[in-house]
A and B are shown apart, each in its own frame.
Chain A
Amino acid sequence: MNERNERIHGVACTFRKVSDVFHAAEKVRDAGWKNWDVHTPFPIHGMDQAMGLPRSPVPRLTLLGGVTGFITGCLLTWYMNSYDYPLIVGGKPYWSVIFPFPVLYECTILFAAFGTFFGQFIFNRLPRHNHPLFELPNFARVSDDTFMIVLEARDPQFHPDESRNFLQSLGGQEITVIRD
């Protein structure tokens, strides 16, 4: 990577129609790009395949959260009602999985939801308010009715002029260079 590229975040172009950006994304994928993204106002059905993205890793944190929650619930009820201050109720065992089951169930769901919610932020690297894309004047329209493909400078295939031409060949409009 030469010195000039280091000050550039990438190049961007816009599309007005879903089918155009969809087919353009397939071509970028087939050209072997790794560091690029399609910015859209809503999730486009099938775009993950069109971009060649793997399955989202969020479910791993959901599972981790759920297991943690169940164990936390077990430890909580066992420690409080059977270890630290044993309660004798009707000659029943101090602790079993039956009587606190609603508590274990709710803890499982609560922690799994935390895993999912924070997992989304972790894998999306959010919150981040200083992204170079926010400096683009036409980026504000991407959350309304415009679609944008961004090729990033850190991709080994990136070359300022060739990548512009590549975007042009895909039918992209308003091709702009994003400065870091």
Chain B
Amino acid sequence: MFGVALFVASFTFIGLGYLVATGTGTWGLRSPVGWGWAIVNFVFWVGIGHAGTLISAILCLLRQKWRTSINRAAEAMTIFAVCCAGLFPLFHVGRVWFGWWLLPLPNQNGIWPQFRSPLEWDVFAVSTYFTVSALFWYMGMIPDLGTIRDRATTWWRKAFYSVLAMGWRGGNRQWSNFEMAYLLLAGLSTPLVLSVHTIVSFDFAVSNVPGWHTTIFPPYFVAGAIFSGFAMVLTLMLPLRAIYRLHDVINQYHIDNMCKIILATGTMVGYAYATEFFIAAYSGNSFEKFAFVNRAFGQYAWAYWIMVSCNVITPQLFWFKKVRENHSLVWIICLFVNVGMWFERFVITITSLANDYLPSSWGYYSPTIVDIFTFFGTFGFFSVLFLLFVRFLPLLPMAEVKMVAPQADPHAH
């Protein structure tokens, strides 16, 4: 499996290698569509990451005990998804060796980054998101790494996990600081996760393009991110649960809850689609009206209706208990949601750019083989990282699962 993942990942590196050698034109980008699959894929992968933070941080603050069995894997998913996401804008800048111009460093002409640009805000948002998620993930793992260290039988395992566990001893004085820090990181991640996709949506909303320039974008993007992220969590966890026989740790109750969240956020996303149409009709702005009619009935209508059927219609099946209990069906619906959310970003990005103000400058965008290679490969890249995590790091937060067990209550007998 690891070999297959590595093979798939190599597609990304071939694609990116060819791009660096040739130029971003190989990505099918030309006037009027300068933002193609790269931005679609970036928003797609960042959005997937959001469910991990939602599970680990927001559900922690809300004291939802069911989160414990899935939070570690979901956080890992966040970090690896952000790694995949980051590749696209980095290479989209064209001359990737000048990528450091995005950082607050002066270039050779003494020019600094421009902080009025949403793209610069994005650099700060995504890098902060990655860093804080990684810190949160690692800190939560320390007690479990201590457990693995104490159970290690070979010297190299012992050495490896000793270094990672930082000498954790599980004293209550340590737990007291640890729990406080964990709670604070959860509290910091909550506004962070909401801000990240808000800022990602600013990339679109701050511009003057019809169909992008709307105030609904931040909440709509955040709901969509949570929606797609939970679908990805289930896509990953259902096979893992079957392979590692985790049926007692991840049970029907967890799957039910995740299905219900997908149903709720999917309905919100559907509501947002409807609101966009209403506001466009109500705005009296002919360009805005055209942008939305064009989305549904224009040259990209096929993409629009894939999006609506996958995101709005399929999740409605989760109203039925029988569907939520049929795990193969749940898995298939989640795949549909993943596809639908990718198409949502495609529809938003491409339709608005391909048909903007002047009909004389309209065009039709289609991806090239390099686009397809690069995107396909990121699934391999993601799988490589995720399989390494499953192999070497604690997949389940052992200390947290023990903590919520009934035997952990000091007043029980």
Contact = CB atoms under 8 A, between A and B. Distances in A.
Interface string B191-219: 11001000100100000000000000000
Contact of A47 (B113, B124, B199, B410): B410
B274 interface: no
Contacts of A47: 172, 175, 410
Main secondary structure on chain B at its contact with chain A? Answer: helix
B181 A19 contact: no
A102 to B, nearest CB: 4
A117 B185 contact: yes
A156 to B, nearest CB: 18
B169 A133 contact: yes
A38 B132 contact: no
A44 B412 CA distance: 12
Given A39-B172, A102-B202, A117-B139, A58 B181 contact: yes
B178 A120 contact: yes
B146, B170, B400: residue with the most chain A Cβ atoms closer than 10 Å: B170
B410 A102 contact: no
A81 B115 CA distance: 7
Interface in B219-262: none
Contacts of A121: 166
Contacts of B139: 117, 120
> Interface size for chain B: under 10, 10 to 19, 20 to 34, or 35 or more residues?
35 or more
A43 B403 contact: yes
A64 interface: no
A117 B181 contact: yes
Interface string A84-106: 11010100000000011011011
A89 B410 contact: no
Interface string A119-146: 1110110111111011000011111100
Contacts of B125: 102, 106
Contact of A143 (B106, B143, B185, B403): B143
B167 A50 contact: no
A40 B175 contact: yes
A84 B112 contact: yes
Contacts of A38: 171-172
A71 to B, nearest CB: 15
Interface stretch (A1-9, A107-115, A164-172): A107-115
Interface string B151-167: 10000000000100011
A32 to B, nearest CB: 17
Contact of A131 (B106, B169, B409): B169
A99 B124 contact: no
Interface residues of A, number: 70
B114 interface: yes
A103 B151 contact: no
A100 B117 CA distance: 9
Given A103-B120, A113-B132, A124 B170 contact: no
A14 interface: no
Contacts of A81: 112, 114-116
Contacts of B116: 81, 87, 89, 99-100
A43 B172 contact: yes
Contacts of A109: 128, 132, 188, 191-192, 195
A102 B399 contact: no
Contact of B172 (A40, A58, A62, A89): A40
Nearest to A133: B169
B147 interface: yes
B169 A42 contact: no
A65 to B, nearest CB: 9
Given A106-B125, A112-B188, A131-B167, A53 B173 contact: yes
Given A42-B143, A53-B173, A106-B195, A85 B110 contact: yes
Given A51-B173, A127-B166, 16 more contacts: A18-B408, A23-B410, A41-B147, A42-B403, A43-B175, A44-B175, A56-B177, A58-B180, A80-B115, A84-B110, A102-B125, A109-B128, A113-B131, A120-B139, A128-B167, A142-B150
Interface of B: 104, 106, 110-116, 118, 120-121, 124-125, 128, 131-132, 135-136, 139, 143, 146-147, 149-151, 162, 166-181, 184-185, 188, 191-192, 195, 199, 202, 398-400, 402-403, 407-413
14 contacts: A18-B408, A18-B412, A39-B169, A39-B170, A41-B143, A42-B399, A43-B175, A48-B176, A77-B115, A110-B131, A112-B188, A124-B173, A128-B167, A142-B150
